[in-house]
Amino acid sequence: MTSPAFPQSQRGFTLLEVLVAFAVLTVTLGVLLNIFSLAMRTTQAVQDQQKAVLLAESRLAELSAGVTLRPGVERGDFDDRFAWESRIEEFDTQTLMDNQSQLLPYRLSVVVNWGDSRRYELATLRLVRTEAR
């Protein structure tokens, strides 16, 4: 009776077992790489959205702090990625207020654009005394 060259406890993996293990490892790493890539893109998109909100709020605060409001449109850039457009227009009040009021509402809006088609708009109303115009 012949005995095997190696005892049962010292036998290694077969070539087929090693190839299957590498295939499973490759598929698993590919899925993990896609998950991390998606997480990075999502994080960047959220950071861009938060920055756009802060920039729009900042620009709207600048408009609101002005002593006089004049209807019109202004455009500019915050940096190489974010552009803004602010718009001041008289708000139609015929249905909201009587003609005796000394307050005139203005609609202030700021639009921040970035990327290909991303945009964030922030708008508010501001009341101005008619003699302060």
Q: 3-17, 51-65, 106-120 — which is least confidently predicted?
A: 3-17
Cα end-to-end distance, the chain, whole Å: 112
Rounded to whole angstroms, the Cα distance separating 68 from 5 reads 97
Residue range 41-80, pLDDT digits in tens: 999 999 999 999 999 999 988 888 876 788 889 999 988 8
Q: Smallest Cα–Cα separation from 57: which of 115, 20, 129, 108? A: 108
H-state helical runs in 1-133:
15-65
Q: What is the pTM of this model?
A: 0.66
pLDDT of 127: 81
Span 19-40, average pLDDT:
95
Q: Pick the residue with more confidence: 103 or 41?
A: 41
What backbone torsions phi and psi does residue 92 show, to the nearest 5 degrees? -70, 115
Mean pLDDT of 93-116: 76
Closest CA to 77 of 114, 46, 50: 114
